[in-house]
Amino acid sequence: MCRLLAYLGSSIQLNRILYKPEHSLIVQSYQPKEMTAGVVNADGLGVGWYHPRQDVEPFTYKNTLPIWNDTNLPELSRYVESGCVLAYIRSATPGQGLDVGNCQPFRRDRLLFTHNGFISNFRQSLYRPIRDRLSDEIYQSIHGTTDSEHIFALLVNELQAFPNCSIQKALHNTLTTLTQLAKEYQVSFSANVVVSDGHCLIASRHAYGTSTPTLYWLSDNPNYPDSVIIASEPLFAGNWHSCPEGSIINVKKNLDVCIEQLI
């Protein structure tokens, strides 16, 4: 069970959100408090961020090392500033390879995507049914082997099929499809997801047939004014809100937070 983090707001150095909090992702990598499966998150890491220029696609940095062993990220995070950041530490599902191609965030055009969760017995259950629903272009774009990347492919396929569809609606439809498939093939899944285009954060806390991983949001903390943070676990003491189970959280460009209950 991985840990994820997302930030939207005024521009900050990456190290302020990655390293400074007392319960940062670095601490969560070896001492998580609220994981429902696994003990540590030592199977890789990833960070994605957006440049203020609107014509530049987001940047990503990934490594298969445990985040506490990565000597480049501390230097990079002191140099880079951004107003929209997605970060992730990995606890690999058994059978899914330790490979940079399996590290998140996944990216397509301006979209960044992270997922904390799993599809049970993925290769034997929903691997083929998900691929059968993809256009050839999206099918060919999958480079890794994880259930996470296939969920992202479903989302991208939804946006491609319906160009006027919002990210929130596309995520809603993706989770609906996953739930229908899980019922049909009698498998469980959990899908705490964060996706962004650099202007908003769209997140979900959802599961079927299993417990739902934790997810929290925080707005306008004195140490992080004019911002919203979404995280698997609170990064520090503050007015964190637990995201409701079976919901989608929409953090808009103006930092308003709206919650939609999934049916």
CA separation, residue 200 to residues 53, 203, 204 (Å): 16, 10, 13
**Amino acid residing at 38:** G
CB-CB contact of 73 with 61 (8 Å): yes
pLDDT (0 to 100) of residue 122: 95
Could you give the count of Cα atoms lying within 13 Å of 96 in the half-sphere of its Cβ?
28
Whether 2 is catalytic is yes
Whether residue 37 has pLDDT greater than 80:
no
Q: Dihedral (C-alpha) 27, 33, 34, 39: value to the nearest 10 degrees?
A: 80
**Which superfamily does CATH assign the domain made up of 3-116+193-261 to?**
Aminohydrolase, N-terminal nucleophile (Ntn) domain (3.60.20.10)
* Distant-in-sequence, close-in-space partners of 185: CB < 8 Å, separation ≥ 6: 125, 126, 129
Q: According to the model, what pLDDT value does residue 143 have?
A: 93
* DSSP single-letter state for residue 194: E
Instruction: Tell me the domain boundaries of the chain.
Output: 3-116+193-261
Q: What are phi and psi of 17, to 5 degrees?
A: -100, -25
**Which tens digit of pLDDT belongs to each residue from 96-138?**
556 788 999 999 999 999 999 999 999 999 999 999 999 999 9
Of 231 and 34, the structure prediction assigns the larger pLDDT to: 231
pTM over 0.85? The answer is yes
User: Which residues of 34-169 form beta strands (DSSP E)?
Assistant: 45-49, 59-63, 81-89, 106-108, 111-119
Q: pLDDT band for position 156 (50/70/90)? A: very high
Give dist(CA 128, CA 87) in Å, integer. 29
pLDDT at 93: 65
pLDDT (tens digit per residue) in 218-261? 999 999 999 999 999 999 999 999 999 999 999 999 999 999 99
Q: Please say if the pLDDT value at position 19 is more than 80.
A: yes
Q: Which of 2, 84, 103, 200 is the catalytic position?
A: 2
Tell me the C-alpha to C-alpha distance, in Å, between residue 119 and each of 91, 125, 127, 174, 217: 14, 8, 9, 14, 24
Residue 43 pLDDT: 86
